[in-house]
Amino acid sequence: MMRPLRRALILDCDGYETPLFSADGRHLAVRGNAYDNSVEVFEFPSLRRVLTTTLGDPSPGYPYPQEWLDQMQAWSRHNVAFGARPGVLWIATPAGTLVEVDLETRQAVEHDVLTGSRLSALAATATGELLVAGSGGDLVLLSVLSGSTQNCTANRDTSRDAAAVFLETTAEVPDDGDDLETHLVLTDGTRTWEADDLATTTAASSTDPTWLQLQAAINAAQVQCE
């Protein structure tokens, strides 16, 4: 039987896509969310956040202007991929270009792929090629010169080692752990919270994550009721 682990990554809201691991297991990308075209990348196994960005204009807040909604919906929800090159994230855009993001230097380079056609999906093959779909029905397979001697076997070894290190830093939730939140050690990629910390937090600033502001407000209301 599979059992949840205590160490967990917490995201700010809902509507995220399935997390995506790089081939070497060193990075984890999360595409979302329900209110913004956000992209976040975390190191693994540390879970340290190394990139956070919004594709297009950030949310102006409700009610949403139609122009902003049209722009948001132009971005594919499946437009990020890790290819063969370690430490590089690829992002497909509505303008028909692929953006190559170096996660170490934070430098980005645009590549024309399907000019005049919105890129509607992006994925990587098992051997690291990029598969791009266009809104006009085009399907393009791209081979990216990596300049690296790293191969699939090395990637598997690296990812296996990363998983082993992660398991050494955490433990399984006990069999009687019905209340999951009381056992979790949470991180947002910047800070870490033990369950006891969150149970007593009553103050949060506007710069804190939304979920933390809500948790603080709920705790403060319970204290007042007591």
Q: Which one of 1.25.40, 1.10.10, 1.10.3470, 2.40.128 gives the CATH number of domain 11-166?
A: 2.40.128
pLDDT, residue 59, reads 87
With contact defined as beta carbons under 8 Å apart, do 46 and 7 qualify? no
Return d(Cα 38, Cα 35) in angstroms, integer.
9
| Structure-token pair, residue 42 | 């975390």
Q: Are 112 and 132 in contact (CB under 8 A)?
A: no
pLDDT of residue 226: 72
pLDDT value at residue 149: 46
For residue 221, what are its two tokens?
């209301």
Per the document, the length of the chain is: 226
| Tokens matching residue 153 | 């076997």
Name residues whose C-beta falls within 8 Å of residue 176's C-beta, 6 or more positions apart in sequence.
Answer: none
Tell me what pLDDT residue 146 has.
61
For the chain, the structural domain boundaries read: 11-166
Return the structure tokens found at 218: 């709920």
Q: What is the pLDDT of residues 49-87, one digit of tens each?
A: 999 999 999 889 889 999 999 999 999 999 999 998 889
pLDDT (tens digit, 0 to 9) for every residue of the chain, 226 residues total?
A: 778 899 999 998 889 999 999 999 999 999 988 888 999 999 999 999 999 999 999 889 889 999 999 999 999 999 999 998 889 999 999 999 999 999 999 999 999 999 888 999 999 998 889 999 999 899 999 998 765 445 566 788 899 999 999 999 999 998 876 788 889 999 999 999 988 888 888 888 888 888 889 989 999 998 888 7
